[in-house]
């Protein structure tokens, strides 16, 4: 797929802000999603929607201040009880903060509500350096990228992403943490077995229906 030149310029601009605002400020973050796929590919394989970021909440104010200084407009959005933060800038790839929580000794903790907590193992989120257009940033391991794409099989964008990722691996899928063992949901401190996997499969079905109705797979954005 041919990517327009103005989009490439937008991606470079966003990555420069990512590097200056996140990497140079020693922020604890991970880039997720299609930007990592583009990095594995060596260039954008399709038009990228934004830069998905997982962020430690202790760095939240620093990042908000930095993005505002760079001219980004921040918008808090919510749907079906799930909230996220978006940062937009004309002519530059935006940011979507899907998860803002705490990096603890063994896992990343995200509170969906007062009683419900999502925990993601640190092995799944092990900081891994990537580079795109000569700009470096922190992401998650290649195996984790692969695991995340498996669970969203009805998302048309992810179908293309999967092909690019598998092609970048060559003949073998790299070792690493699997999604089913890395994502755990707790209710009032008690683990709910298979809750995240069940939810992900249900959402994949729901997202597929949204696509058939001419809508985006994701509820955010």
Is residue 211 over pLDDT 90? no
Asked whether the predicted pLDDT for residue 221 surpasses 60, the reply is no
Cα distance between residue 80 and residue 10, in whole Å? 31
Q: What is residue 97's three-state secondary structure?
A: strand
User: Does residue 219 carry a pLDDT above 80?
Assistant: no
Q: Is the pLDDT of residue 85 over 80?
A: yes
**5-212 CATH, one of 3.40.50.720, 3.10.105.10, 3.40.1390.20, 3.30.460.40:** 3.30.460.40
pLDDT in tens, 145-180: 999 998 888 788 888 899 999 999 988 999 999 999
- What residues does each domain of the chain span? 5-212
- Cβ–Cβ < 8 Å for 44, 124: no
CA-CA-CA-CA torsion sign (129, 39, 216, 146): negative
**The two structure tokens encoding residue 79:** 């749907």
Cβ–Cβ under 8 Å, residues 118 and 195? no
Helix (H) or strand (E) holding 179: helix 179-182
In this prediction, residue 83 carries a pLDDT of 83
């Amino acid at each position: 797929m041919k990517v327009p030149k103005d989009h490439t310029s937008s991606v470079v601009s966003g990555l420069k802000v990512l590097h200056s605002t996140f990497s140079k400020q020693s922020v604890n973050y991970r880039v997720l999603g299609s930007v990592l796929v583009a990095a594995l590919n060596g260039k954008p394989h399709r038009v990228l929607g934004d830069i998905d970021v997982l962020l430690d909440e202790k760095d939240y104010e620093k990042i908000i201040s930095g993005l505002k200084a760079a001219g980004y407009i921040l918008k808090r959005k919510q749907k079906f009880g799930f909230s996220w933060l978006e940062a937009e800038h004309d002519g530059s790839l935006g940011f979507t903060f899907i998860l803002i929580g705490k990096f603890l000794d063994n896992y990343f903790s995200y509170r969906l509500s007062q009683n419900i907590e999502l925990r993601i193992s640190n092995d799944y989120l092990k900081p891994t350096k990537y580079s795109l257009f000569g700009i470096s940033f922190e992401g998650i391991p290649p195996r984790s990228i692969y695991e995340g794409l498996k669970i969203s099989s009805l998302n048309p964008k992810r179908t293309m992403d999967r092909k690019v990722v598998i092609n970048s691996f060559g003949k073998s899928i790299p070792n690493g943490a699997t999604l089913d063992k890395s994502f755990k949901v707790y209710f009032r401190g008690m683990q709910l077995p298979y809750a995240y996997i069940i939810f992900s499969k249900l959402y994949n079905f729901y997202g597929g229906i949204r696509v058939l109705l001419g809508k985006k797979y994701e509820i955010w954005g």
